[in-house]
Amino acid sequence: MTIVACRGLFKKERLVSKNMFLFHCVGVVLSVIEAIGLFYLSSWLLNKAVEAK
């Protein structure tokens, strides 16, 4: 999904260099992974806290 969006943007923004664009795509992917990881971590901690009670 992200790769397709990146390709679509790249066709529109021909002034942007490929390297900068790759960095942008990698940043987007990493932020999504980080958000998912934080969500799972917080829900796991919440479950542990509930079990402790």
User: Could you read off the pLDDT tens digit of each residue along the chain, which spans 53 residues?
Assistant: 566 666 666 665 655 577 777 888 899 999 999 999 999 999 999 999 999 87
Cα torsion 29, 31, 36, 40 to 10°: value is 140
The pLDDT, as a whole number, for residue 21 is: 79
Q: What's the confidence (pLDDT) of residue 8?
A: 64
pLDDT of residue 41: 95
Q: Tell me how far apart the terminal alpha carbons of the chain are, to the nearest angstrom.
A: 41
How far is it, in rounded angstroms, from Cα 21 to Cα 6?
Answer: 8
Q: Identify the pLDDT of residue 32.
A: 94
Q: How many whole angstroms separate alpha carbon 13 and alpha carbon 9?
A: 6
Q: Which tokens belong to 52?
A: 């402790």
pLDDT at 10: 60
The predicted model scores a pTM of 0.49
How far is it, in rounded angstroms, from Cα 35 to Cα 51?
A: 24
